[in-house]
Amino acid sequence: MSRFKVLIVCTGNTCRSAMAEGALRVLLEGKDNTAIDVMSAGTGAVPGCPATLNAIEASKTWHSDISGHHSRPLSVELIEEADLILTMMPNHYRDILSLRADAASKTYLLKRFPDLGDDGEGVADPIGGPLDLYNQTFLEIGEELGRILPEIMEMAEKKES
């Protein structure tokens, strides 16, 4: 039985998608649900960079430890492997479809989910900003993930059956 794979995409994979990966893992803890793997990548990521210090600090809000995170670039292989792709901004959505147009049916702008398309509000990049901005970004991402968690779990259960 293959696990349901969620891929979260931003630009550098050191702030937003790293925080989202950690937040979704925390939300899934204790859920006796299908096995769900969470991964993240960046459309412009340099391989192996750590999460920013402020992203690590902000993630602690939900007892999420992303201190061991290392960035990875978005690849065709990651897109193909994923069952669900969540993007932070419309340009990330378009970058994914430029690599694999057939990924349109499983790619969503985080704040627009469950509606397909790249027309909508994104999650602004806090890179270089103060910890307060990172905290605000983390909470924004966390609220969105909490909102869509039941649907993610339902999608995973459908794959399992």
CA distances from 93 to 81, 111, 133 (A): 16, 12, 23
Q: Which residues are catalytic?
A: 10, 16, 125
Name the residue with tokens 């412009």. 44
Helices (H), the chain: 16-28, 53-59, 76-81, 90-99, 131-160
